[in-house]
Amino acid sequence: MRTGLGVAALLAACVLGLAPASAQSFVSVCPAGASEAAPLAGQVWRGVAIMNGETPGEPHQQWDAEFRADGVLVYTYADGRRFDNGTWRQNDRVVMFETNGYFAVNMGTICGDTLEGERRNRRGERGTIRFTRVRR
């Protein structure tokens, strides 16, 4: 299921300062001629979400993200803590997902088996995300 970026998600991204000038600014990260991204629904991606200034390696920075078909994001930290209080939206290669009732909003681009982008939280902190598709 491919889900468009909803008004609420885009508004949250704007409030947190994540919204790019246009979706094209994220899409242009992939090489010209790259094919459309496969829908995220039902997939698990593993990666790192870190805020600038944090020391890498903390359990809350390394996690698995399960993109459920109903738009719910289930994420599990490296220490085993699991949450289902996130949501996600996808428009071709551009992905927005939020955690903990929009405490943190992440936007990025899928290019092949990699999802990379940026994140911000309600405290105004900025950071980066880098996830890789988990093959089952």
Instruction: Specify the pairing of strand 104-111 against strand 94-99.
Output: antiparallel
Q: What was the pLDDT predicted at 16?
A: 52
Contact assessment for residue 127 and residue 51, using Cβ atoms and an 8 Å cutoff = yes
pLDDT at 21: 42
pLDDT at 53: 86
> Domains in the chain, please, with CATH?
7-133 (2.40.128)
Non-local CB neighbours of 48 within 8 Å, separated by 6+ positions: 56, 61, 62, 63, 129, 130, 131
One digit per residue, pLDDT tens: the chain, 136 residues? 444 455 445 445 554 555 544 444 444 467 766 777 889 999 999 999 998 988 777 767 899 999 999 999 999 999 999 999 999 999 999 999 999 999 999 999 999 999 999 999 999 999 999 999 998 6
* pTM of the shown model: 0.77
